[in-house]
Structure 1
Amino acid sequence: MSDSSSRPPATATPGHWSFTRWNTVGQLEALEVNHPLFRAVLFLQGAQLTHFAPADERNWLWMSELARFQPGRAIRGGMPVCWPWFGIPARNAPEIRKRILRDTPHGFARTSLWRLEDVRESAHEVEISLSLHANDEFAAVWHGHAMALITFSFSVRGCQVGLTTTNLGRDPLAFSQALHTYLPTEDIVRTRILGLGSSQYIDTLQGWQYVNQEGPVYFDGEVDRIYEAGEPVSLVTPGNKRILNPVGSDSTVVWNPGPEKAKRLSDFPESGWQKMLCIETANAASDYRVLNEGQSHTLGLFLGRKGKRP
């Protein structure tokens, strides 16, 4: 479905970039940003961010030490883009399921080669835009015609992401999606999420039953929940506090594989579940979206320090 042998053209001339450079990691091409104020690494495959941090700080994203960087293989960690469906096809709405022609989770965007559209740099910020044209090239896996445009804005304040979907077909387009953000922690049992305490969630481990959340979210084993909430949340770990501020979302997925599932996951260290979690800004479950011809929808996220917003 994609050809990684040729580098997509950029609207910004590479020689004019001050802080951004091409780099090859494993078998994949990436854009590496080394700004005096921050650093970022963004892969063309999957439009996947694997590193962001202000200068002299550790990666704000969790990456598996076993991650492999190969064409067509999902990268374990960072911020995968799940699109144009989230989760397993069978758990999506009928309008979404009828377009899916292959029984694989999380869509095809995360293993597809995206096109570099633009790189913009300033003394305080770097902005990178990538696009994926989902047309007849994907006819074997999905029935639809849409454009996904994702823009990453990096600054010392944090990382802002906007994923815009435009329906280029004549029929209404139903889709689900998520920015599947992996986040690090020093100790999962001493980690909590604030901001979801007054919401309901679907517990996918308990027959997809609805449960009321009371107080902060804590972790004591495998967690896989879809919260019916699109408000800012705070992640409190033993060493850091982060805020995730969503846009265009009324659902938030919280995930940790726990000890047993971690053993079965690909490219995942057996004890890795103790040092990570996912908070996913999503349009999932009943929060899926429908676009008429020519309409667009943007799913966005700001990841920053607690108390600081863009």
Structure 2
Amino acid sequence: MSESSNKPPLFLSPGQWSFTRWTTIGQLEALEVHHPLFEARLFLQGAHLTRFIPRNEPDWLWLSPSARFEPGRAIRGGIPICWPWFGDPARNAPEVRKRIKTPDAHGFARTALWKLEDVSESAHEVEICLSLDANDDFADVWNGRALALLTFNFSVRGCRLALTTTNLGNEPLAFSQALHTYLPTADIERSRVLGLGYTHYIDTLKNWEYCTQSGPVYFEGEIDRIYESGEPLIVVTPGITRKLTAVGSDSTVVWNPGPDKAAKLSDFPDSAWRAMLCVETANAASDYYVLNEGQSHTLGVLIGRG
């Protein structure tokens, strides 16, 4: 990453903001919000939110204590942005897969350097907008042309993300994506997800077998499922309840690595699987999108109190 690419845009100098400041974490540039009602931390690399802390509350997001902040390295925890494909390229629909030129999972957006577009502040909320122009700079890994615009809204009500994709090419563009939200828990075995009962899902740990959920989703070892639902969800952990409300989504990914896979993951302590879970707002599996020239689609999630 060049020195010039790390500099904040001149038209958005820190003097214009009351609550938002530039900072450097490790080797990465970030925006830190210190509002009287909440705090947040957002990295330009990956448009990656790693912290949201309402006043007098614990962090609503889980960040690995082993996370590393280095150019080109995905951050473990927070809300990684998986775009313009989700998961293993080979497991995507043919229309999505034909554009991907790498075996790497989860797309390139989570390690790309996004551009700051705007910061808007008030006595009640802060909104930050970042963009990524997926142009010829990414031609070695993906065949497409699109603009990703990601808006973060922070307030006492919660944290909202809206990812809008616009097809800048002259032919239909197929893509998949996810807002890969890591949530903390005091005890994974006493945690559950409500709102997915009787929903069909793909169990990736059972050779992508189709199953039907019965009752709440509990965590007993490794879990990796793609649910065919974009309905509001309640995540219940000891002492804390969160509500996740999605827009533009008909699929939800629920993931926890369990003890065996946790031992193999990078930047992830062996026992950390007990302290986190992922509930991901997605367009995944059969729920991918195709945009004609100039068309847009927005995938979003509001994380609020349950």
Give the TM-score of the pair, scaled to structure 2: 0.98
Secondary structure of the corresponding residue to residue 180 of structure 2: strand
Secondary structure of the corresponding residue to residue 160 of structure 1: strand
1:173-195 C-alpha deviation (Å, 9 max, x unpaired): 00000000000000000001000
> Is residue 10–residue 116 contact of structure 1 (8 Å, CA) maintained in 2?
no
Residues 285-304 of structure 1: pairs in structure 2 closer than 5 A: 285-304=285-304
In the alignment, the residues of structure 2 paired with residue 130 and residue 213 of structure 1 have an alpha-carbon distance, to the nearest angstrom, of 36
1:90-143 C-alpha deviation (Å, 9 max, x unpaired): 000111111101110000000000000000000000000000000000010100
Unaligned runs of 5+ in 1: none
Task: Give the equivalent residue in structure 2 for 1:58.
Answer: 58
In the alignment, the residues of structure 2 paired with residue 64 and residue 221 of structure 1 have an alpha-carbon distance, to the nearest angstrom, of 19
> Is residue 200–residue 211 contact of structure 1 (8 Å, CA) maintained in 2?
yes
Residues 158-237 of structure 1: pairs in structure 2 closer than 5 A: 158-237=158-237
The alignment status of 1:151 with 2:113, answered yes or no, reads no
In the alignment, the residues of structure 1 paired with residue 56 and residue 297 of structure 2 have an alpha-carbon distance, to the nearest angstrom, of 36
Secondary structure of the corresponding residue to residue 235 of structure 2: strand
Task: Give the equivalent residue in structure 1 for 2:107.
Answer: 107
Task: Give the equivalent residue in structure 2 for 1:74.
Answer: 74
| 1:23 maps to amino acid | T
> Is residue 10–residue 117 contact of structure 1 (8 Å, CA) maintained in 2?
no
Secondary structure of the corresponding residue to residue 287 of structure 1: coil
Residues 109-128 of structure 1: pairs in structure 2 closer than 5 A: 109-128=109-128
Distance 1:5 1:12, change over 3 A: closer
Distance 1:224 1:292, change over 3 A: same
In the alignment, the residues of structure 2 paired with residue 8 and residue 286 of structure 1 have an alpha-carbon distance, to the nearest angstrom, of 39
> Is residue 246–residue 302 contact of structure 1 (8 Å, CA) maintained in 2?
yes
Task: Give the equivalent residue in structure 1 for 2:142.
Answer: 142
In the alignment, the residues of structure 2 paired with residue 75 and residue 120 of structure 1 have an alpha-carbon distance, to the nearest angstrom, of 26
Task: Give the equivalent residue in structure 1 for 2:275.
Answer: 275
**RMSD, aligned α-carbons:** 1.0
Secondary structure of the corresponding residue to residue 286 of structure 1: coil
Give the TM-score of the pair, scaled to structure 1: 0.97
Task: Give the equivalent residue in structure 2 for 1:88.
Answer: 88
In the alignment, the residues of structure 1 paired with residue 68 and residue 235 of structure 2 have an alpha-carbon distance, to the nearest angstrom, of 27
Unaligned runs of 5+ in 2: none
Task: Give the equivalent residue in structure 2 for 1:265.
Answer: 265
Secondary structure of the corresponding residue to residue 110 of structure 1: coil
Secondary structure of the corresponding residue to residue 193 of structure 1: strand
1:249-289 C-alpha deviation (Å, 9 max, x unpaired): 00000000000000000000000000100000000000000
Secondary structure of the corresponding residue to residue 277 of structure 1: strand
1:213-253 C-alpha deviation (Å, 9 max, x unpaired): 01000011000000000000000001200000000000000
1:21-66 C-alpha deviation (Å, 9 max, x unpaired): 0010000010000000000000000000000021121110000000
Secondary structure of the corresponding residue to residue 111 of structure 1: coil
Secondary structure of the corresponding residue to residue 205 of structure 1: helix
In the alignment, the residues of structure 2 paired with residue 277 and residue 4 of structure 1 have an alpha-carbon distance, to the nearest angstrom, of 36
Secondary structure of the corresponding residue to residue 221 of structure 2: coil
| 1:162 maps to amino acid | A
| 1:161 maps to amino acid | L
In the alignment, the residues of structure 2 paired with residue 294 and residue 236 of structure 1 have an alpha-carbon distance, to the nearest angstrom, of 40
Number of aligned residue pairs: give it.
Answer: 305
Secondary structure of the corresponding residue to residue 260 of structure 1: helix
